[in-house]
Amino acid sequence: MTDLVGHFLIFGLLAIAFLMGPLIVGRLLRPRLPTPEKDAIYECGEPAIGSSYIQFDLRFYVVALLFIIFDVEVAFFFPWASVYGSAMQLADTRLDDASREALSARLLSIPADQMTPANVISAETALQIGWLGLADILVFFGVLLVGFAYVWKRGDLDWIRALAKKSAQAPDQTVAV
């Protein structure tokens, strides 16, 4: 038990040293040249204008949420590509028996020593799995495209939507001379 506590203590101290070391070295080595311009408050590289207690445009949040949703959904392509790639390798009729058995074991998540001839995936079955995988990803991608088209049609991606509505409502104020 004391050995386990010792390991946790050493790990914790090393973690603190690795985190604090660069901060302390940077504090000691970096130049200190404060100027009013460097000390000014800024947000994302832009100077602050006005009060911080103003209403924030919700479109920023909507676009951020849409980015996260679509970004996470695109991450689902990677496991699909892994399984689809293995199935398409198995669909090759030129594979030898040992390679087909190894790929089948990896695709079915069966340890290689527990593989039986009944578990080996044939080229025809692998081709059917490949077509099914392609149909699955096309449906998934279709749902993504429908969602993207809905968001686009609704105008959630238009940054200047409010200005376009104002200019459409206000007629041109020019006076003919």
- 3-class DSSP state of 155: coil
Question: Which 3 state secondary structure label does DSSP give 42?
Answer: strand
Sequence-separated (6 or more) residues with CB below 8 Å from residue 143: none
Q: How confident is the model at residue 29 (pLDDT cuts 50, 70, 90)?
A: very high
pTM: 0.51
The span from the CA of 30 to the CA of 19, in Å, is: 17
| Mean predicted confidence (pLDDT) in 108-131 | 86
Residue among 33, 53, 66, 24 at smallest CA distance from 151: 66
> Could you tell me the two tokens for 136?
């699955």
Overall average pLDDT of the 147-164 stretch:
74
The lowest-confidence range among 45-49, 71-75, 144-148 is 45-49
Which of 25 and 77 is assigned the larger pLDDT? 25
Give the mean pLDDT of the chain.
81
